A and B are shown apart, each in its own frame.
Chain A
Amino acid sequence: MSADVELDHVTIRFGDFTAVDDANLRIKEGEFFSFLGPSGCGKTTILRAVSGFLEPTEGEVRIGGQNMRGIGPNKRPTALIFQNLALFPLMTVAENIAFGLEVRGVDKYERRKRADQLLELIALEGQGDKKVGELSGGQKQRVAIARALAVEPEVLLLDEPLSALDLKLRQHMRTELRAIQQRVGITFIYITHDQGEALTMSDRIAVMSQGVIQQVGDGAAVYENSQTAFVASFVGENNPFVGRVSAADKDYAVVESHFGPLRGRNVGGLSAGDQAMLFVRPESLSFANGEAAGENVIQSTVLNSEFEGSFFSVFLRGEGDKDIVMSMTNSGRLPEVEVGGTSRLAFSPDRALVLPKGEVADE
């Protein structure tokens, strides 16, 4: 059984501080939905509001259509996986998993049966009698998930569950989590600051900054068609160019930047005279040393190039100390790049976005 989750004009304030500002969205049932943003953006606050540890100052939280105001965390059809897992150290693995059933009065045999089933699901058969302290980090993760699934929640909430794990384990767990979600079929609400995680696992993502939801959409929407400067800069690597719009129509806009006129898709609906930022991703830039100067050509000096495995990152500096990153896939040949030499970069206007000037994510 799965449920949808609605945030209806949800605002959460602590004294003078607004943690969440007028959040409005609907998470579909069975969806893997992520809240993505830097620390302090309000994603944890939303999670606690949905799970019942906080009441919104204004607005409603609805689960399965039902208003959750006044309903405590123990009465909501949600289960939360805490960032520190919060496994019960004095109980065995099986007792941890069966805890939700124990407090509902399910008898011992039924509990043990269910715990064994879940142990199988998370590939820890036979380990039920171990104490929590004897498990590895990844194993503890899985026990936390099994414990939450045991109470058959309609919505599973996950609070940055992979942040404490090392790289290889994190990648492994990403796939595992996605697999578990598809097998069990319930709504997953996942919060993270790691956009790689969000992009690989989620059906849709909500990008947040300072309490405001900047954009909601699937991976492609958020990455290729970012709607705000923050989203464009936070999700993946991006190169922002600031300037004033000199010409605009409904499809394209031209921004007068340090480097001359740059044209990109006018997704922000801007008109001439507006302050804007043009974003072009590293992979959309290419070397254009042979061509003449023209539209969308950037003159710069090469600072450094780094080998990242499947691609190269090349760091350049443009006029006015503007740092630019471009990347090239590893085709087996080294790029013809000379540190210290000048280069010209070019990009296609269809691969660039023009957005209203706004907050840009920190490095």
Chain B
Amino acid sequence: MNDFFGLFLPAFFAVLLAILVAPVVQKHSGAVWRSITGIKFVQRNGVVISTYLLVAVIAWVVFMIILPQAYMLDFSFRHNLPPGKIGGPEDVYTLKNYQYLIFGRPGDEEMFNWLHLGVFIRTIVASIFVTLINFVICYPIAYYIAQVAKGGQARALILFLILPFWVNEILRAFAFRILFGTSGVINAFLQTMGIIDQPIDFIRADVALYAGLSYAYILLMVFPLYNAIESLDHNQVEAARDLGSPWWRIHWRVVIPHAKPGIASGCTLVFMLAAGALAAPQILGGPSSFWFTQIIYRWFNTGGNWPQGAAYAIVLLLACLIFVLTVMRVFKVSLGEIAK
């Protein structure tokens, strides 16, 4: 058995258990610790329930959240070994999975792995682009529902907003295929109107993918925006208008600053979901718009190199993390505000 496992697992577990249990368990001050039942937490909940609570929460937090992430991180630094060789002499740490992403195989003609790096960079850039489109589309609607629409109308609009998202994301992407395909609705419409002669290959031009991705996350942008804008006292907008401010300035100086947490929240969510999207790129993506997640999927599926896949996944996670931190810095909001 590997030293890492022998030490890592129990040590990690013990430390985590201590950290988790300590704030909850409280020794009764001044009293003698006679038995487990002396602990205030147990006194409050009874032995049976206390056990249930602790087991459930620890199982979740440790075994489903923390340890898997830790193992994935660990895994990404290992060689791709067949089961027989794991734990053996070849099972050492290596940086090669990460090196591969940047430099490609040693002996390649190019210095950098432009194939994969290119996909990574394009995924990030495209996700930012999708986030911006999404924001521009959703802001007016969010503003309208939050500030302009009356109670009943607002509720109805919200209902209509939610309805399309009851449909599975895959079917939604599929519907976009129907819309944007070479023999799809939009092309047929444009051709009958005489605007174009040949069908436009929307898919190849990535238009389908961007439209599809923006569409998919509308709800996740509208609601944080709506919540943030709704809390703005409408009188401020009125006051600004009274003072002669044109509508775009009202938004720029009054509404948007107030809605910053909502904007940060919405943008973060949309970016992370877009960067991590898999179904939409698979369905709507043309040959030139390969998504980073698709590469990761390949490593696990046909590529058969899980550690490599894990390394790429970590890189994706880091990208998301950096984005979140940047947004937090730029918008000057805290994590708690976003998490709501």
**Chain A residues with a Cβ under 8 A of chain B:** 55, 57-58, 70, 72
Contacts and interface: CB of A to CB of B under 8 A. Distances in A.
A222 B65 CA distance: 64
7 contacts: A55-B28, A55-B31, A57-B29, A57-B30, A58-B30, A70-B34, A72-B43
A57 B29 CA distance: 8
Contacts of A55: 28, 31
Contacts of A72: 43
**4 interchain residue pairs of minimum CB distance:** A57-B30, A55-B31, A55-B28, A72-B43
B328 to A, nearest CB: 37
Contacts of A70: 34
Main SS class of interface, A: loop
Nearest to A55: B31
A72 B46 CA distance: 10
Nearest to A74: B46
Interface string B30-44: 110010000000010
Contacts, number: 7
Interface of B: 28-31, 34, 43
A72 B40 CA distance: 12
B256 to A, nearest CB: 45
A111 B274 CA distance: 61
Nearest to B31: A55
B35 to A, nearest CB: 9
Nearest to B28: A55
A350 B222 CA distance: 81
Contacts of B34: 70
A57 B31 CA distance: 8
B209 to A, nearest CB: 52
Contacts of B31: 55
A70 B33 CA distance: 11
A55 B30 CA distance: 11
Contacts of B28: 55
A57 B32 CA distance: 11
Nearest to A70: B34
B26 to A, nearest CB: 12
A55 B32 CA distance: 12
Contacts of A57: 29-30
A362 B23 CA distance: 41
Nearest to B34: A70
A186 B30 CA distance: 34
Contacts of A58: 30
A72 B30 CA distance: 18
A58 B31 CA distance: 9
A58 B30 CA distance: 9
A72 B45 CA distance: 12
A58 B34 CA distance: 16
A262 B30 CA distance: 50
Nearest to A57: B30
A45 to B, nearest CB: 16
A258 B28 CA distance: 53
A67 B30 CA distance: 18
A120 to B, nearest CB: 35
A84 B278 CA distance: 54
A326 B280 CA distance: 88
A243 to B, nearest CB: 44
A22 to B, nearest CB: 15
B45 to A, nearest CB: 12
B172 to A, nearest CB: 41
Nearest to B30: A57
